[in-house]
Amino acid sequence: RSFVQLAGVGHRYDPNPDIPPAITGINLDIRRHEFVAVVGPSGCGKSTLLRMIAGLLKPSEGSVSVFGKEVDGPRDDVGIVFQKPTLLPWLTVRKNVLFPLKHKYGRYGREDEKRADELLAMAGLETFANKMPDELSGGMQQRVGIVRALLLNPDILLMDEPFSALDAMTREQIGFDLLKIWQENPKTVLFITHSISEAVLLADRVLVMSKRPGTVLEMVSVDLPRP
């Protein structure tokens, strides 16, 4: 049974029929706990694809469903991590991680704090829980953003180039830390990246999107053995 299913999905930003759609004719099934990476050149439609799965953008053709139900808006069981960490500078790391709970329920308890600390520890940030975001490096802040998205325990995690602002060494370290988190905390993941090596390191399957003038898109899928 598919967790995420796209059938003939496309999106056009411009109603002018002379301008090709951003993406068109995408069929994709993502299984439970599958980690799928999407690579491809700038402008091939990766973010558009992710935003349709996230319910932030309505497809102009085809249908997107999550858990067998057509997507009609953002939902709590789908977490999103964007390119920039967007931590709140006036809250400690732990409070940033707990912020979505506070936002959603108006409060959080001891158990939530414990879980936040556990997730921070998994991300190698146990000694930073009481620090302010500007005391952390960019890579650490980005990890806090991922931990924050995991705290609500979403069934699906969508990440749009979460590491693109980081240098190669930091990216690699975060890659390994993420693998650890995933081994203990498996999720269904769609991960957009510019980096083939990052995709191969992290994913079970890599989708390669390419842009050909006129035809818009071709998608190739490569299954990887797990290390």
Two tokens, residue 135: 């005391």
If one asks whether residue 6 binds ligand ADP (CB under 6 A), the answer comes out as: no
149 interacts with ligand ADP by CB under 6 A? yes
10 binds ligand ADP (CB under 6 A): no
CB 27 within 8 A of CB 6: yes
Residues 44-63 that bind ligand ADP (CB under 6 A): 44-48
Least separation in angstroms between residue 13's CB and ligand ADP is 3
In the shown chain, the binding pattern of residues 75 to 104 toward ligand ADP, with x for contact by CB under 6 A and - for none, equals -x-xxxx------------------x--xx
Among 94, 115, 143, 148, binds ligand ADP (CB under 6 A): 148
**Does the protein bind ligand ADP through residue 180 (CB under 6 A)?**
no
The minimum distance between CB 226 and ligand ADP, in angstroms, equals: 26
Q: Nearer to ligand ADP by C-beta: 154 or 225? A: 154
Contact call for residue 142 and ligand ADP (CB under 6 A): no
Smallest gap, in angstroms, from Cβ of residue 114 to ligand ADP?
Answer: 18
Q: What is the spatial distance between Cα 54 and Cα 15, in angstroms, rounded to a whole number? A: 22
Told to check if 195 binds ligand ADP by CB under 6 A, we report: no
Tokens 């071709």 appear where? 218
The window from 106-114, 146-154, 164-172, 173-181 that contacts ligand ADP (CB under 6 A) reads 146-154
Give the binding-site size for ligand ADP (rule: CB under 6 A).
Answer: 24
Exactly one of 1, 16, 18, 42 binds ligand ADP (CB under 6 A); that residue is: 42
Full 3-state SS string of the chain? CEEEEEEEEEECCCCCCCCCCCEEEEEEEEECCCEEEEECCCCCCHHHHHHHHHCCCCCCEEEEEECCEECCCCCCCEEEECCCCCCCCCCCHHHHHHHHHHHHHCCCCHHHHHHHHHHHHHCCCHHHCCCCHHHCCHHHHHHHHHHHHHHCCCCEEEEECCCCCCCHHHHHHHHHHHHHHHHHCCCEEEEECCCHHHHHHHCCEEEEEECCCCCCCEEEEEECCCC
Q: Interface with ligand ADP by CB under 6 A: which residues? A: 13, 22, 40, 42-48, 74, 76, 78-81, 100, 103-104, 145, 148-149, 152, 154
